[in-house]
Each structure stands twice: as C-alpha cells, then as structure tokens.
C-alpha cells in the first residue's frame, strides 16, 4: 500500500483550518505522532485568523508539557518570526520562546527586547528572557 504524500503548504492549511474549527486536541495528537510537524509552528503563527494564532499558543503550551523532548524542534522557525514585519507576530514569537524556555534563544530575545520598534514587543521579549533565566 502506498503512502499518501501531502505538500507542506497543504498540511499547513489543513492544520490552520483544524485550529480555526477548534480541533486543538487533534492537532496536539498529530504533533505528538509526527514530530516532523514542529517546523510548521513558526509559519502557522503568522496566520491572519486570531483563533489560529491563539491556538498556536495553546498548542505550544500543551506540547511543552506533553512532548517536552520535541518542542525545541519548533524554536528555529519561531525565532525567525522575531524579524516578522508585524509586531503581533514578533510578540507572539517572543512569548512562545519564553514558554518553551530554550536558553539558546536568549541572545535573540535580548536583542528584540533592546531594539524592537514596538514597546509591547520589547516588553514581551524582556519577560520571555526573565522566564527562561528563572527556570
């Protein structure tokens, strides 16, 4: 029996649509079953739909507890969002990095805390650094 292949863009859209429709538990199970999906977290947090972006926070918070050995796979893609043109995405990225607690993220978070154009993003990044350091 042949394996079904889904393009990354289709997979991203499917996960975002599931999130929009409130299927967080299904998505958590998908990530726990296939840890190669973690590369999508950074991209999914840029979705225009508020429910999807909020769902990504809930997803990361849950996976931090339930799949701690794999949550760090999402860090590179979340870190890249610290350079996103939208302040809300940069703030979300800083927040998620604080939740994950990845110590290697501290230098980029400190740079964001010191240099971001948005006062809100600077504050969130500062809080994320403090959260990571206090673990």
> How do residues 10-27 score in pLDDT, each as one tens digit?
999 999 999 999 999 999
Assigned CATH class of 8-133: mainly alpha
Q: How confident is the model at residue 3 (pLDDT cuts 50, 70, 90)?
A: low
Crossing angle, helix 119-133 and helix 106-115, to 10 degrees? 150
pTM of the predicted model, to two decimals?
Answer: 0.91
What secondary structure letter does DSSP report for 104?
G
Q: State residue 105's pLDDT score.
A: 96
> How do residues 79-95 score in pLDDT, each as one tens digit?
999 999 999 999 999 99
Residue 27 sits at the vertex; the CA angle it makes with 22 and 28, to the nearest 5 degrees, is 115
Q: How far is CA 25 from the centre of its chain?
A: 16
Domain boundaries, the chain: 8-133
* Residue 96 structure tokens: 């998620």
């Amino acid at each position: 029996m042949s394996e079904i292949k889904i393009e990354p863009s289709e997979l991203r859209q499917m996960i975002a649509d599931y999130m929009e429709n409130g299927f967080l538990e299904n998505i958590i199970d998908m990530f726990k079953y296939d840890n190669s999906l973690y590369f999508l977290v950074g991209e999914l947090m840029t979705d225009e739909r508020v429910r999807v972006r909020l769902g990504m926070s809930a997803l990361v918070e849950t996976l931090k507890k339930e799949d701690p050995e794999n949550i760090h796979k999402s860090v590179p893609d979340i870190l890249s969002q610290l350079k996103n043109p939208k302040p809300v995405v940069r703030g979300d990225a800083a927040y998620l990095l604080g939740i994950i607690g990845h110590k290697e993220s501290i230098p980029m978070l400190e740079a964001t805390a010191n240099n971001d154009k948005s006062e809100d993003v600077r504050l969130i990044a500062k809080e994320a650094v403090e959260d990571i350091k206090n673990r």
